[in-house]
Amino acid sequence: MKNLDNITMNKWLELLIGLVLLVGMILVGWASSAYAWTLFGKNLNFLNAAWILLKGAVFWMVVLIGLILVILGISDLKE
């Protein structure tokens, strides 16, 4: 069995794959909202789903930042 610790990916290949995936997902999101993609009677609008996920992520990020600030403030009061 080979030692898998020595396997590294070329930095340019990583960059290229990342850009292809990013641009590909942007195009899929745009095309799914611009045209009617239906499967078994369900509309597959990926842009709407991504927007809802982003709004939820921003909400929880702000809540967690507030919680961290409260914990740090309480920690400073103890000293």
Model pLDDT, residue 61: 92
- State the Cα–Cα distance between residues 74 and 24, nearest whole angstrom: 46
CB neighbours of 28 closer than 8 A, spacing ≥ 6? Answer: 46
Contact between 44 and 37 under an 8 Å Cβ cutoff? The reply is yes
Domain that holds residue 46: 4-78
Least confident of 1-5, 16-20, 47-51, 63-67: 1-5
Q: Find residue 38's DSSP bridge partners.
A: 43
Q: Which residue has the higher pLDDT, 68 or 6?
A: 68
Which of 58, 34, 56, 57 is CA-nearest to residue 46? 34
Total number of domains constituting the chain:
1
- State the Cα–Cα distance between residues 38 and 45, nearest whole angstrom: 9
Q: What is the pTM of this model?
A: 0.53
